[in-house]
């Protein structure tokens, strides 16, 4: 069994429903027995996950690790099977998933605030409460949190 010694993406990108973790020298290493093999980006260098399912999508990507003149060359699907990379991926993508969730929550809150503001405006107009209508209109133009 291979164990992850260190796994820090050099670059993380979230685009559409994909999370890309790009690795570079010194940011990814594996321990095999008592030896540490360092990642070298000679073939594959990124792990692409589906943001909705959190499943790895580029399983055929080949990762190469080196110690001196010895190499470990594994396709990503095999690396996931023979190491604890999957556990480390979970900890790497949890903050990204939480960030996305918080952004979605904020968008939902803003949408609800807009709908509530529009209802208040409609209610003021339907009751011919011009004072309330102009007060709400002023709040909207003053940069209030309603819109």
Whole-structure pTM over 0.75, yes or no?
A: no
Q: What are the pLDDT tens digits along the chain (147 aa)? A: 889 999 999 888 888 889 999 999 888 999 999 999 999 999 999 999 988 888 899 999 999 999 999 999 999 999 999 988 988 888 888 776 666 667 776 777 778 788 888 888 888 899 999 888 888 888 876 655 444
Task: Compute the distance between CA of residue 33 and CA of residue 37 in angstroms, rounded to an integer.
Answer: 10
The stretches of 1-84 forming alpha helices (DSSP H) are 76-82
Query: Looking up tokens 């360092």, which residue turns up?
Result: 38
Per-domain boundaries in the chain: 2-83
Task: Compute the distance between CA of residue 8 and CA of residue 145 in angstroms, rounded to an integer.
Answer: 38
């Amino acid at each position: 069994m291979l164990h992850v010694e260190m796994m820090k993406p050099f670059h993380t990108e979230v685009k559409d429903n994909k999370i890309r973790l790009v690795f570079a020298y010194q940011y990814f290493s594996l321990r095999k027995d008592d030896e540490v093999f360092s990642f070298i980006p000679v073939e594959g260098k990124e792990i692409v996950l589906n943001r909705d399912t959190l499943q790895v999508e580029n399983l055929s990507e080949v990762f190469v690790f080196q110690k001196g003149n010895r190499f470990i060359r594994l396709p990503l699907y095999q690396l996931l099977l023979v190491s604890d990379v999957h556990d480390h991926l979970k900890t790497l993508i949890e903050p990204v998933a939480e960030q996305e969730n918080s952004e979605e929550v904020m968008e939902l809150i803003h949408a609800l605030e807009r709908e509530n503001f529009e209802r208040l405006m409609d209610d003021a107009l339907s009751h011919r409460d011009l004072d309330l209508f102009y007060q709400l209109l002023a709040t909207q133009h003053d940069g209030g949190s309603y819109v």
